[in-house]
Amino acid sequence: MSDFYKYFKENMDALGVPCPESLFGNLQLATGTAATILGGMDKFGRSVTVGELIGAGTRLELLAAAGALSAAFVVGAIIGSIAVATGRTLSGGTSIADAVTTAHKYSLSRPWLTTVLQRYPGLYDRKMAGRGLYSSRATSFA
């Protein structure tokens, strides 16, 4: 297991989002999975769930356990976790600027993303209290 995936998985687990290694095992897989979800959101809207994206044939079947979750929450968690994993691998920490920069760097940014990251800083900040409760509210995250 790479350090990237170890840190990525640790952050996603804390948020209650499944993260199979086959979809998130390295930076390229994680950004590709995020891009797939964002593509579905661009097509079906911000309020789409992961389950609806799976039903639309997006090849995200390995995320079936997250089916009821808002795709906006899941992609926010993915981008935040990418930032956490790269931040911890390279420098030991993550900020909202790291998460936004990561999104821009990998063409994962959307106009609404900064608002989601501001509203839910636990997506990228491991020290935030209550971040484990995010997934229980993630059906209406957009």
Residue 139 confidence (pLDDT): 64
Residue 98 confidence (pLDDT): 82
Average pLDDT, the chain: 86
25-69 confidence digits (pLDDT tens):
999 999 999 999 999 999 999 899 999 999 998 888 888 888 888
The shares of helix, strand and coil residues in the chain, as percent rounded to the nearest 5, are 70, 0, 30
83-103 confidence digits (pLDDT tens):
888 877 666 567 788 888 888
- Does the pLDDT value for residue 20 go beyond 90? yes
pTM over the 0.95 mark: no
Whether 76 and 117 have beta carbons less than 8 Å apart is answered as: yes
**What CA–CA distance (Å, rounded) separates 99 from 120?**
12
**What CA–CA distance (Å, rounded) separates 134 from 77?**
10
**What CA–CA distance (Å, rounded) separates 84 from 68?**
24
